[in-house]
Amino acid sequence: MESKSLTTARRMRALEPSATLAMAARASAMTASGVDVIDLSVGEPDFPTPPHICRAAEEAIRAGKTKYTPAAGIPQLKKAVADDYGRRTGLAITPAQVVVSNGAKHALHNVFTAVLDEGDEVIVPTPYWVSYAELIKLAGAKPILLETRIEDDFKLHPEALRAALTPRTRMLLLCSPSNPTGVVYSAAELGGLADVAIERDLAVVADEIYDQLVFDGRPSVSFPTLRPGLADRTVVVAGVSKTYSMTGWRIGWTIAPEPLSKAIGNLQSQETSNPCSISQHAAIAALNGPQECVGEMLQAFQKRRDLVAKRLLAMPGVRIPEIGGAFYAFFDIREPLKRMAGRGIGTSMQWCETLLEKHHVALVAGSAFGAEGFVRMSFAASEEKLAAGLDRIAAFLDNG
């Protein structure tokens, strides 16, 4: 007789796997079998972690920094995060407001678990990063997916936000620069949303993991800096993964009012204890060390953005928003899908699956981001690989 003792909880039955990691796994399996796959699915910089950061990790190992640390992070790293944020934004914070976690995804989970109660609603503009809705649901809350349009560069307007609010709305979640769209809100655009948050007493989570990957000289605007008192209702989530090409080091953090940071630290002490001790010392070197590497990577990403945007806009029926930051192109394939409907390709998932099977390019379907009819392409890859991938995409659009 089959035991029911280890059946999964209801919350797990509703949990969707990460679509980006699933596509990357398929591409990796095909590559391992000898297929020449161009994988443009995962948002991971292709640059090596800068040498001075790696040296700091090696020195930490030799110095025996391999034991438990305080659960919320070592004091030196919390100070480095606070100093770096204050230097770049002008908003002074204290190390006590910082909790260092096992990557920004873990930091987001901590915030939702610490703040949200059963049935609370969180406004999530779509397209949205694949993990937002699932992490909110795991906390017992309800993601309210609020559609935005490519005609508006996928930006949420204050009027639309205000119209979506209910007595159960507790939080607004924003990501700028955006994953998956690459869109960057201006200070005025964010300010309009900030006014609604203050007026309606909303908590705000500002995912700013791409805050230093901003193109064309745009300012990088941190949400809590926009209005007096806004920092008292905002949690900033960031980390070293994208800026310093440290995805595997798993260091992210939250910046929040001190009482909430203390609660998040207590939660983390029960969940995971501390982030990796060696990675913490590497992150100190990233934040306090030479920053030329950031500018060099940004320059390369902007060149890649220019290449990708030009090529995609030349493809019949394809549209993109203005890509102001991060390293993604989120392009509209609704017109091409109409032409392919007779061949059994009617959704963005079917389009991506056929592209991978026939032309060996891995992208992620827009449906995973709450935007059917669109596709996300990462340009965190070499110009040669991007050019080859775009050639294959163009051939697919022309000939199927």
Instruction: Give residue 2's pLDDT.
Output: 61
- Domain of 148, CATH number, reads 3.40.640.10
Is residue 1 a part of any domain in this protein? no
Instruction: For residues 256 and 325, state if they share a domain.
Output: no
Is residue 2 a part of any domain in this protein? no
Instruction: For residues 317 and 270, state if they share a domain.
Output: no
Instruction: For residues 101 and 78, state if they share a domain.
Output: yes
The CA-to-CA distance between both ends of the chain, in Å, stands at 50
Is residue 29 a part of any domain in this protein? yes
- Which of 266, 288, 310 corresponds to the end of one domain? 288
How many domains does the chain contain in total?
A: 2
Instruction: For residues 355 and 280, state if they share a domain.
Output: no
Instruction: For residues 56 and 203, state if they share a domain.
Output: yes
Instruction: For residues 108 and 216, state if they share a domain.
Output: yes
Cis? peptide before 127, omega within 30° of 0? yes
Instruction: Give residue 400's pLDDT.
Output: 63
Instruction: Give residue 25's pLDDT.
Output: 86
Instruction: For residues 356 and 261, state if they share a domain.
Output: no
Is residue 80 a part of any domain in this protein? yes
Is residue 239 a part of any domain in this protein? yes
Is residue 5 a part of any domain in this protein? no
Instruction: For residues 357 and 333, state if they share a domain.
Output: yes
Instruction: For residues 123 and 196, state if they share a domain.
Output: yes
List the domain range (segments joined by +) for residue 376. Answer: 10-48+293-399
354: part of which helix (H) or strand (E)? helix 348-354
Looking at the DSSP bridge assignments, the partners of residue 142 are 121
- Domain of 395, CATH number, reads 3.90.1150.10
Instruction: Give residue 1's pLDDT.
Output: 52
Instruction: For residues 177 and 261, state if they share a domain.
Output: yes
Instruction: For residues 143 and 204, state if they share a domain.
Output: yes
Instruction: Give residue 13's pLDDT.
Output: 78
Is residue 4 a part of any domain in this protein? no
d(CA 177, CA 327): 9
Is residue 241 a part of any domain in this protein? yes
- Which of 257, 288, 319 corresponds to the end of one domain? 288
Instruction: Give residue 26's pLDDT.
Output: 86
Instruction: Give residue 52's pLDDT.
Output: 98
DSSP string, 204-237: EEEE-TTTT-B-TT-----GGGSSTTGGGGEEEE
Instruction: For residues 380 and 368, state if they share a domain.
Output: yes
Other CB atoms within 10 Å distance of the CB of residue 379: 28
Q: In which residue ranges of the chain is pLDDT below 70?
A: 1-2, 400
Instruction: Give residue 95's pLDDT.
Output: 98
Nearest to 190 by CA among 154, 155, 217: 155
Instruction: Give residue 11's pLDDT.
Output: 83
- Which of 288, 304, 338 corresponds to the end of one domain? 288
